Each structure stands twice: as C-alpha cells, then as structure tokens.
Structure 1
Amino acid sequence: MAPEATRATDTADIAVDIDIDELVALRRDIHANPEVAFDEHRTSELVAAKLRAWDIETHTGIGGTGVVGVVHGQRGKGRTIALRADMDALPMEEEGRPLHRSMRQGVFHGCGHDGHTAMLLGAARHFSRHRDFAGTVVLVFQPAEETGGGASAMLADGLETRFGYDEIFALHNAPHFAPGTFGVLDGAMLASCDEVIVRIDGVGGHGSAPEKTRDPVMAAAQLICALQTVVSRSIEPSATAVLSIGSMHAGSAPNVIPSHAELTGTLRAFDENVRALARSRIQEICAGIATLSTCSITVEFRNSSPATINHREQAEAAARVAADIFGADNVLRDFPPLNGSEDFSEFLLRRPGAYALLGQGGVYCHHPEFDFNDDVLPFGVRFFVSLAHARLAA
C-alpha cells in the first residue's frame, strides 16, 4: 500500500495517476457485495456513480445492467479504443475468510471480476484527469460474462454503433501466472463453450416391471459413456476438444423407473470446424441411443460462446506495452491456450482486439477460496492506460 493516497507512476513515457487505496477499497467493496449475471444493479450503480463523479460521460442500462463511460481527448478527433471489464459474480459459496468476505449467501466473486472492474475504474479515473490525447476512450463494464450472455446483450443494444470503437481489449487475472507477469497469444486464447442439455423422455413404471417401461436412466447411462467417444474417436488427436458431462437428474424413489432424465455438460474447442463436428456427433449419438432405448432424446446447445481469437496486430501491441510495464522477460507469448471460455469472443468477432492475462498467483479461478490479488491492481491500471495511449497513436 502506498504511503500517499495518490501517486504518479512512470510507464515508459506515460505517467499513470493511480489512487491505490481507493482501488483496493473499491475492489473489496465489490467483492463483499457480489451479484450474479444481469443482477449487477448495485455494482452498475457504483460504477456509474464513480464515472459521473469524475465527470465522465456515462451511459447505463446497456444490455441490461451494462455501463459505458466515454472520455473524449482534448486534442480533438482520432481513433476510438474500447477497454472492457466484466462485473458479474458466480452462483457459489465463498469458503475463504477475508475481511471483505461475500455478504450474500451463495454468491461469490470467485473469478476476479471485482478486480477487473476496479482496474478499469482506475483507468477511468486517470483518463478523467488526463485528457491530453486525440481520440476517444470507451470504458465498457459488461454484465453476465459467466453465463455467456452479457457481451451479446450489449452488442444487441447497439454497443458498436453507439460508441463506434475501432479496437477493443480486455484483461483477466491469471492465478497460474506469477504476479508481475503478463500473457497474450496471437490467435486462440480461450476455447469455445457450449452448454449441452440432453433431455430424455421415456415411460415410467414400477421397478419390478422394467419391461413395461422405456427406461430413461438406462439411456442416460449409455449416453454418458457413448458421448466420451466424441473426442476420443471423432476428433483428430492433434486437435483439442473437451466434452464433460457435469450433471445427471432422474427419478426420486428407488423402486420407480422415472419417465424423464436430463444430462448437462459443456463442450469446448479452439477451432470452429472441430466444434461443429463435435456438436454433430453429439446429436448423432443421441439419435442412436434414442433408437436403441426407444426413448425420445433431444439435444440443446445454449449459452454458447465461440473461441476467443486474438487479432495478431492487437496482441503484438498489447505485448509491447506490457514489456514496458513488466519487462520483456515477464511477458509470456508461448503457452497453451486455456480450455476456459469467455464471451469477450463475441466482441473479437466484430472488431479487432486482444484478450490478455495478468499474473496474480494463488488458487485458480472458481475455487471456493479464490480472492483477487490486490497487489496487481496497479499493474492492470497501467496496462489499460498505456495500451489506450499506444493504440490511439497507432
């Protein structure tokens, strides 16, 4: 913690104005008051109140609970660069015991979106006080990343046309990278994700007379095994795909064969052709098991996000800026892309940009004892500010 409330930090030739105490207080306040997808009302109000207090043009209710701040440079027209942070928490219980522990049962900032929001607010505060640039900085505070619907909701609400940004960038914490490191790849950063919902309708009956039923539990059991062949027998070994069944729901009594069963899971891939093949095979296998079991089986893919594919020019620009902040040896450019997914991919389908990782150490995202590392907050602010200046001048 800095002894003074506010200090200027030199990053190459950019002096970044950071109030560390305020950043930490904001982050911990958001952590203690988490809100799930499209319910980020308090968080949105906090963000909007800060932006307005800093005399930043503020737009609310975009895509539901999204907030956008706009800072116009004093040197007139130029490029428009968008910076994005996600705001939503996870529907899970926090098991850690920080002083700023979640005050909402079953809701928890277990992925660090509280830190992402605080870092972008830190950048907003800087730009509110330092507008000596040509062009515009658009600050995008997005709801509902965890469900994969927030980016699409903001886009459907006219984000691109209303704010006309040329490029867009995002930063996510990375517990598997050490604090003081930074990672960005050209091309695939994160996998696509499809939630897979399989509904099985049979004919229920007494457990003593299975011949009078069409057993959806038997069909579900066969499907769990058969679906594993989608990756092991349909996808080229050099490609990457993951299909995991995460839940099975059927029945309520030991002596009753139920009428219905449901499986849910996720499919992930880095290549759209692999993704399409896997989806097709899932449907074919379900059709085959339906014939075998004489049950009716339907498949739905929902809350889908395509793979997060960075644009090369923008990824290289992010790496150059990061090298000035972290040192070239601490900028990671060659690591396996992550099987996690991100609906920031929706933005990258429409505009050039890049998604980068900020090392923070600690337990992995979605762990019940996860907590964002406040020590890396200034790094994120410096990166956002320096990157915006670099791309405005490009």
Structure 2
Amino acid sequence: MVIKQDALLEEVVSWRRHLHENAELSHQEYKTSEYIYNLVKTFPGLTVTRPTRTSVYAVLEGTKKSELKTYTIAFRADIDALPIVEEADVDFKSKTTGVMHACGHDAHAAMLLGAAKALSEKRDKISGEIRFIFQHAEEVTPGGAVELVEKGVMDGVDYVFALHVYPYENAGKFTMKEGKLNAAGDDFEIKVIGSGGHASTPELTIDPLIIGAEIATNIQQIVSRKLPILKAPVITVTKFNCGNSLNVIAGHAELGGTIRSHDPVVRVQAREYLEQVVEGIARAHGAETEIKWDIGCAAVHNNKEATAITRAVAQGLVGVENVVEMEDPLFGAEDFAAYSEVVPASMQFIGVHNESFGEAYPLHHPKFKIDESALKYGVNYFVKIAENFTNGLG
C-alpha cells in the first residue's frame, strides 16, 4: 500500500504551498478549512463534516472483510499559523501580512491530505475505520483539540497518531519518544497596582516598576528553591510594561509569562508559589496585585504500545539508523495532549532540514522553512500505520 510518490508527491507539495501562501491565525482558518474540506470531498469513500467552523473531519470506512480484530484509528494534523512576518527565502511566501506557517502546520495538513487520498483509493483493502482530523487553533490555549474531543472525534478510537516537523534533523529521519513528550503550558499576566507620581519624589509613591522587577527576579527562585530539581518546571517572564515618560513614576506595571511543566503535581505547585511570591512582595511594599491565568493543555503522553507501532513503521520506511530516540521531553506545549489524555496516542517528529539551508532555524522563527522531500515520508508513515492495522498488526 505504500506509495511511490511521484504524482501524489507533486500534489502534496502543491497543497502545502497553497496553505503556506494563504496562512491564517487560530480560529480564523476559514479559507484554510474550506480549501481542505473541498479537497477531501473529492477523495472517494470519505464522509466529510465540519465539527467546528474552522476544522475538518473525515471518516473512511474500509470495505475489506476481515476475521481479525478491526480497529478505529485517527490521524491528526493542525492547520493554523502564527502572527509572524515571514523572512524565509522561498518563492511562495505568505500573502497574509504578518501571518506565517512558522510551525509547519501547512506541512502537517499536506501530509495528512496525501495519506487520506492514498488510503481512500485503497479502501477495498482496508478493514476498520480511519479518521482524519484537520484541527484548528493549536497555537492558542487551551487549543482546538479540547473542543474537538468534546465534539466526540475520539469516541470509539483505539489509537490516535500525529507527526510534527522537526528542524533539527534532516529529511529522511524520524525522532521518537515514548512517555512524556513535552510540557503543559500555563500562561500568567500580573498587574501591579501602586501609586504614581513625579520621578523627583519617589518617596511619595509606591513604585510599581521596582516592585515588578523584584517580582520578576524572585519568581526564578521558585524553580531553584521551592520545587524538586528533577521535576522542576520552566518559569519565564516574557513581558514587562510600565510607564511611558522619563520623569513620571507610573501607577501600575504589567508583567506576563509562562510556566512549562511535565509533572502534574508540580504544575499546580508552581502556580501556587508564583501567586505567593507576587502577593507577598506587593504587600510588603503596600501595593496591590491582580493575577490572571490562562490554563493551557496538559503534557502529551506517548503510549508505549502506540509508540512501538510508530517506531516500527518509521524504521521500516527509513531504516533503523535514521530513527533517533529522544532522551528528554521538550518544554514546548502541544494540544495533542487532549487526545492523548483519552486515547492511546503517539505523536512523533519528522526531520525537515536540509544541509543546503545552512542554519536550522527553530519552530516559530521568521526564517523557518522545510525540505519538502520530507513530505513523502510523512505520507507513507500514515499510510503504513493504517496498513499495519488493516493486517491485524496493531
């Protein structure tokens, strides 16, 4: 069932470039989802619906009779882009000002479209059910995956799989990880409310800038002094705004940042300690504070059996020597966690770098780009997983 690529690969590349040129932000993927919906509708044997306004859900019922156990498996691709001005040297740059597919979701969608087309044309050789999920809003908390799980896309699913592009390995390689893959992500916004005044008489004010700076510094001690080092999260302050005049002490300051954690207990403790630090410092200086939390998705957990399936598939496609084992989980957040919390799951990484690019720019970088030859490996990865389940090997 594994395809030889030529004609289909040309289509997959063209689909990816169309999506790249027409990038849309989270919850605004109207043209993106319409394009995917209209395309998938041309594939034979698929039932296609729109569970949300900007997502697409397609189901393929195999017609092959089997005496073996049949499975329902799901494949997921995300489709939203990022608020980034593109600087990559490609001929198909984003036409949407300030919006770019800098995380590879265009490639994710194109690979899954290729697999959907290949599998739909061989449905007489498929037993069981395959679900294709083109998901909106992965880039914002809590993520579109949560909404789709609530809509029932995981009901009755035995396993769910996904691929994510990985700029630190070349095309033709996969990176695998069993267990914890990445981190839960919780964002915070802090407002320090003091009492402003003239810069020449700071003693008559409650200076929120000084208080905010003390808060930003002391938050770092949560990781180094309050939590077990082997389970320690990352706490990063990324925003600090205060005042707009050189001779005026402002009345308030605003800070913001994120907590990334792997351990669910430490995740809660980190938030509690942060609130203690903020409130304690503010109280000591006579200021008030407001804290707002944006609680994100949990950490992705790759099921042992599902990971073994995907590892075997990857090794069969590119050879054992080209399948790299990741030792430590990442601190990036990924809303695929919503699926992995309810169904045995495996999200793995596909290399998309090419040595001719020079520097490997990371995800979310304005110069991020991929080697499109990697797309064929992603298409075949999904197709081969489906083939294994069809043959009762799942």
Offset of 1:220 from its aligned partner? 0.8
Tell me the number of residue pairs that the alignment of Structure 1 and Structure 2 aligns.
378
- State the Cα distance separating 1:76 from its structure 2 match: 5.4
> What TM-score results when the alignment is normalised by the length of structure 2?
0.92
Shift of 1:334: 4.0
User: How far did 1:79 drift?
Assistant: 1.5
Give unmatched runs, 5+ long, in structure 1.
1-13
1:239 Cα deviation (Å)?
2.6
When residues 236 and 150 of structure 1 are mapped into structure 2, their CA distance, relative to the original with a 3 A threshold, is same
Alignment of 1:253-264 (within 5 A): 253-264=245-256
Question: How much does 1:187 deviate?
Answer: 0.5
2:150 is aligned to 156
Q: Percent identity?
A: 34
* Alignment partner of 1:390 out of 371, 388, 391: 388
| 3-state SS in 2 of match to 1:96 | coil
CA deviation map 1:116-144 (0-9, x unaligned): 00000000111110102111100000111
Which residue identity lines up with residue 153 of structure 1 in the other structure? E
CA distance in 1, matches of 2:292, 2:376: 43
| Equivalent residues of 1:64, 1:153 under 8 A apart | no
What residue in structure 2 maps to residue 9 of structure 1?
A: none
**Residue 164 of structure 2 is aligned to residue 172 of structure 1:** yes
Contact 2:154 2:339 in 1 (8 A): no
Matches for 1:7-156 after TM superposition, within 5 Å: 14-16=1-3, 18=5, 19-55=8-44, 56-60=46-50, 62-75=51-64, 78-131=70-123, 132-148=125-141, 149-156=143-150
Cα distance, 1:255 vs structure 2: 1.9
Alignment CA distance shift 1:200-1:63 (3 Å): farther
Let me know the Cα RMSD of the aligned residues: 1.6
Alignment of 1:196-235 (within 5 A): 196-235=188-227
Q: Is the Cα–Cα contact under 8 Å of residues 286 and 298 in structure 1 kept in the other structure?
A: no
Do the aligned partners of residues 233 and 63 (structure 1) sit closer, same or farther apart at CA in structure 2, a change above 3 Å counting?
A: farther
Where does residue 360 of structure 1 map in the other structure? 352
Task: Name the SS for the 2:3 alignment partner.
Answer: strand
Q: 2:136 is matched by which residue type in structure 1?
A: P
CA distance in 2: counterparts of 1:284 and 1:389, whole angstroms: 53
Q: Distance in 2 between matches of 1:268 and 1:298?
A: 21
Amino acid at match of 2:32: T
CA distance in 1, matches of 2:82, 2:31: 15
Who is 1:380 aligned against?
378
Partner of 1:68: helix, strand, or coil?
strand
Moved more, 112-121 or 321-330: 321-330
SS of alignment partner, residue 151 of structure 1: helix
Q: 1:212 to 1:85 in 2, by over 3 A?
A: same
> How far is 1:272 from its partner?
1.1
Give the deviation of 1:372 after TM superposition.
2.5
In 1, Cα distance between equivalents of 2:152 and 2:207: 48
| Deviation (angstroms), 1:303 | 4.8
- Which residue identity does 1:170 align to in structure 2? A
Taking the aligned partners of 1:200 and 1:76, their CA distance within structure 2 comes to: 66
Match of 2:367 among 364, 369, 379: 369
Q: 1:256 & 1:87 partners in 2: Cα distance?
A: 46
How far does residue 108 in structure 1 lie from its aligned partner after superposition? Answer: 0.5
Gaps of 5+ in 2: 354-359
179-188 or 330-339: bigger deviation: 330-339
* Cα offsets for 1:290-317 (capped at 9, x unmatched): 2112211122221512111111111111
AA aligned to 2:363 is: C
Aligned residue type for 1:136:
E
Residue type of the partner of 2:222? V
Q: CA deviation at 1:319?
A: 0.4
